Amino acid sequence: MSDDILRAPLIIEYPFARTLGPAQTAFFTGLREGIILGAKGAAGQVIVPPVEYDPLTGEALEELVEVGQAGEVTTWAWVAEPGDKHVLDHPFAFALIKLDGADQPLLHVVDAGDESAMSTGMRVQVRWKDEREGHINDIEAFVPEEVSA
Amino acid sequence: MAMDLKSIPALADVEPVRSTKTPLHLEYEYTAGEASSRFLRAMKDKRITGQRCPVCQKVYVPPRGACPTDGVPTTDEVELGHQGTVTTYCIVNVQFYGSVMQVPYCSALVLVDGSDIPIFGLVQDEGFSVDDVRMGLRVEAVWAPDEDLTTSLENILYWRPTGDPDADYESYKEHV
């Protein structure tokens, strides 16, 4: 009976594109140029990626701030078996990374090689893509910070 | 004063990134089920088959194996003709992404003779203008060449006006 049942691949694709608005335009333009921007919040806190309005007061935010390209892992989850949609094809960590000068962490991936190399509080730094287009993946990954003597 | 890229020296003279692409890609394996598989195999033989509900007597095409109104299996298979009536239609004038169709074209719901559910198709013919499509228009199936026939609804390339008088609204009003 089941031999009579037809099956076929069904692939659905939507080519969505969206406009970015002033805060994300700044953030993605910065990434393309190799810098990371945040917004200065109403209480002086630095929010990365930048947002247009203060999350607590709703005030329109105007000031852009460049933050560091290294920071601290505040929490992480190891991905032992990456899926085909993940940006890395080998095991990596999703992590929240509080960049130097920022008060809130950014979600990205850490290419640490092995889970044993990961720890909360560890220092990581940006690994940029060679060809950048203004996209979150312009940051290829964060990697454990090289400690200079 | 909104956020200004020019406040960041490195970005003062560069072209801003104003949009981003967020494509969606979903991969499924579609299983047609018993009733639709039978329908699609019949399509490969240039036959249009439906199934009749033993309770309400409605003929469903393509059949799904059960009547959605009465909740009973539709075991009685019915072979339908290759002509039908346009119950409603849409003339597409916008070239949307991924479409290979030349605009304008006409998508229509065609109530195949002997059935109670219209099926989706294109209405066209050489020398036929989409401006002439109308409710009640009588059409017939134009099939793909025999060597191209497969287990797909796409075997019906399009529906061509027969030239017969339009169907009376009363004859299809229950199906609009």
pLDDT in tens, B82-134: 999 999 999 999 988 777 888 999 999 999 999 999 999 999 999 999 999 99
Residues A38-79: tens digit of each pLDDT: 999 999 999 999 999 999 999 999 999 999 999 999 999 999
Q: Note the pLDDT of residue A149.
A: 55
- DSSP letter (8 states) at residue B145: P
| pLDDT higher than 80, residue A9 | yes
Q: Is a pLDDT exceeding 70 seen at residue A81?
A: yes
Residue B173 contacts by C-beta under 8 Å, 6 or more apart in sequence?
none
Distances (CA, A) of B148 to B38, B80, B101, B123, B152: 19, 21, 19, 20, 10
Residues B23-32: pLDDT tens digits?
898 999 999 9
Q: Which residues contact A127 (CB under 8 A, 6 or more apart)?
A: A111, A139, A140, A141, A142, A143
Domain residue spans of chain B:
34-175
CA distances to A6, B5, B10 from B14, in Å: 54, 9, 8
pLDDT interval class at A15 (50, 70, 90): confident
Q: What is the pLDDT of residues A23-35, one digit of tens each?
A: 999 999 999 999 9
Q: Which of residues 39-68 of A touch B (CB under 8 A)?
A: 39, 50, 52, 60-64, 66
Q: Residue for token digits 């947002």?
A: A51
Q: Which of A132-146, B14-28, B46-60, B91-105 has the lowest mean pLDDT?
A: B91-105
* Interface membership of B9 toward A (CB under 8 Å): no
Report chain A residues whose CB lies below 8 A from the CB of B21: 15-17
Chain A residues inside the 8 Å CB shell of B35: none
A3 phi and psi angles, rounded to 5 deg: -65, -20
Over chain A, what is the mean pLDDT?
A: 94
Q: What is the 3-state secondary structure (H, E, C) of B58-79?
A: CEECCCCCECCCCCCECCEEEE
ipTM of the complex: 0.82
Question: Which of B17, B19, B95 to substitute to test the interface with A, most A CBs within 10 Å?
Answer: B17
The stretch B49-76 carries a mean pLDDT of 95
Contacts of A104 (CB under 8 A, 6+ apart): A45, A46, A47, A48, A98
Q: Indicate the pTM of the whole model.
A: 0.68
Q: What is the pLDDT of residue A57?
A: 96
For residue B15, pLDDT beyond 80:
yes
| Type of residue at B122 | L
A10 in contact with chain B, both atoms CB, cutoff 8 A: yes
Q: Which of A22, A35, A135 sits opposite B10 (nearest CB)?
A: A35
Would you call A100 an interface residue with chain B, using a CB distance cutoff of 8 Å?
Answer: no
Q: Which residue of B has its CA nearest to A8?
A: B30
* CB proximity list for B148: less than 8 A, separation 6 or greater: B155
The Cα–Cα gap between B175 and B54 comes to: 19
Is A84 or A89 the better-scoring residue by pLDDT?
A89
Contacts of B17 in chain A (CB under 8 A): 20, 25, 28-29, 32, 133-134
Q: Which two tokens stand for residue B147?
A: 């060597």
> In A, which residues are within 8 Å of B4 by CB distance?
62, 64
Residue B34 contacts A where some CB pair is shorter than 8 Å: yes
Task: Look at residue A3 and tell me whether its pLDDT is greater than 70.
Answer: no
Determine the pLDDT at residue A4: 84
H or E, element range at A21: helix A21-32
| End-to-end alpha carbon distance in chain B | 55
What pLDDT score was predicted for residue B150?
95
Tell me: pLDDT of A2 over 70. Answer: no
Would you state the pLDDT for residue B21? 87
Residue B70: pLDDT band with limits 50, 70, 90: very high
Among B84, B79, B80, B60, CA closest to B70: B60
